[in-house]
Amino acid sequence: GAWKHSPFYMLKAAKQSARTACRKLLDFLFPRRCLVCGAVNPDGKYGYVCPECEGEIHMMRGGHCLVCAEIVGMPDAPNVPFCAKCAEHPPAFRRGMAVCVFDGAARELVHELKYKSTPAAVNDIALIAKSHGEVAGYLKDSILVPVPLHRSRRRQRKYNQSELIARALAKNFAEENVKICGMLARIRKTGTQTMLDREARAKNIKGAFKCIKRKCESVPKNARIVLVDDVMTTTATLS
């Protein structure tokens, strides 16, 4: 129809062509690789996971705890309001959501973002969240609060991966009225949580955060607050 020849459509098509050309040039100069199999410049849905390896992304559907996201049954089983772990060690939040299992392609994406200075990997993480049918409702009318890094760690990494994830979520779920507020600061440098058990993680992280008063005061008392972190294991950091 004639609308395809309108200035708006032509400008949109020109921008799309420019993005495509830029992407091809970048792929030529700085080839991407599938983080699972190593395929060069994958051309599927994701930038760093090829179509053949998309099956390595294990989405969290049913059969998990609605508080800590612990898997308690098969994917076709109903979710449970809390699990045995939550009953024994109740988290300090009402509900939690993990988009996918920290394994396979998802683990490689987080590691690429977190340890290998590839901030563009956050786009794939946002796409995974976008493909999960429950995330939109979970984020609706929420204020995203990224878990902060200590300033020394941020200097070393150049960015906070949780902040990048929050920004990508806000962009991809803009229609859900999602906002971001960096109302937390990490005031104590902590060691890695990777090799610690639940009790050690809680002790390691205790007293590491504080609220930034002026930012907290700008948030309505009844606001829906969603903390954003790259990985949830024992819930110690989020609690």
DSSP string, the chain: -GGGGSHHHHHHHHHHHHHHHHHHHHHHHS--B-TTT--BS--SSSSSS-GGGGGG--B--SSBBTTT--B-S-TTSPPBS--HHHHHS--SSS----SB-SSHHHHHHHHHHHHS--GGGHHHHHHHHHTSTTHHHHHTTEEEEEPPPPHHHHHHHSS-HHHHHHHHHHHHTGGGT-EE---EEE-S-----TT--HHHHHHHHTT-EEE-HHHHTTS-TT-EEEEE-S--SSSTTT-
pLDDT, residue 176, reads 97
pLDDT, residue 124, reads 97
pLDDT tens-digit readout, 16-71: 676 667 766 666 677 899 999 999 999 999 999 999 999 999 999 899 999 999 99
pLDDT tens-digit readout, 163-197: 999 999 999 999 999 999 999 999 998 877 777 88
Global pTM value: 0.86
pLDDT tens-digit readout, 101-113: 999 999 999 999 9
